[in-house]
Amino acid sequence: MSIPNVLTFLRLLGVPVFAWLYLKGEHRAALAVFIAAGVTDLLDGVLARALKQFTRLGAVLDPLADKALALVALVLLTYSALLPPWLLALALFRDACIFAAIWLLTRTGRSYEVRPTRFGKYSTFFLVATAVLALVQEAHSPARAASPALQSLCLTTGLCLFLSWAQYLALLVRMMRRPPDMTPGKLAGPLANAIAGPRAQPRPGAPSP
């Protein structure tokens, strides 16, 4: 197994550890695990490029690990009332729409490439920043309401999530106007290749979670 994939597996293993520490009230330790997971995310990307160790497994597991950690952090911080419920709902709604779009493209025989858009990257960055700030606040001042800085960051994150959803929707509409390029119902795109083996080279421009 490649070094980047080992780091990705460690990040996945860190998700239940982070949740367990947080629920036990060990907020500083949970913050340390969250930050360590972020560091491994940076490292596996750098090492994959430096060592040229790009794998299909890594292409699937890397975003999965990121999503799992971010989602668990959002759920726990919303449960603690540090983050507003609407932010979690918006994040879940956007991701559900993206997966629905991928399913629709696959069912109608349109190839796609799983990759984030510009606002998709922005929303991921601000989601992580929001979670880190909330965890820092809870580690230093437990049981306090969200600070003005955290509230402002939540609004910025919510705006980026909405804009990324709109961008993905526009991409879906554009791709659905294209005629199908393979048998409807078959898997297409890099995500499908990781599951079902090599296929024809997909066209770029489709949404990604």
Query: pLDDT tens digits for 14-30?
Result: 899 999 999 998 999 99
Instruction: Give per-residue pLDDT as tens, 150-196.
Output: 999 999 999 999 999 999 898 888 888 888 876 554 444 433 333 33
Hey, where are the domains in the chain? Answer: 1-79, 82-209
Computed from CA positions of residues 10, 44, 118, 110, in that sequence, does the dihedral angle turn out positive or negative? negative
Give the Cα separation of 168 and 172 in Å (integer): 6
Copy the structure tokens of residue 156. 């910025």
Backbone angles phi, psi at 119, to 5 degrees: -70, -25
Copy the structure tokens of residue 132. 């880190």
Copy the structure tokens of residue 179. 């005629």
Work out the mean pLDDT of the chain and round it to a whole number: 79
Give the Cα separation of 60 and 193 in Å (integer): 10
Check residue 114 and give its pLDDT. Answer: 63
**Higher-confidence residue: 42 or 101?**
101
Q: Are 126 and 74 in contact (CB under 8 A)?
A: no
CA dihedral of residues 24, 8, 104, 98 (deg, nearest 10)? 50
When pLDDT is cut at 50, 70 and 90, the band that residue 57 belongs to is: low
Question: Which pTM value belongs to this model?
Answer: 0.76
- 68, 205, 81: which is closest to 146 by C-alpha? 81
Whether 76 shows a pLDDT value over 80: the answer reads: yes
Copy the structure tokens of residue 6. 């080992």
Give the Cα separation of 146 and 65 in Å (integer): 27
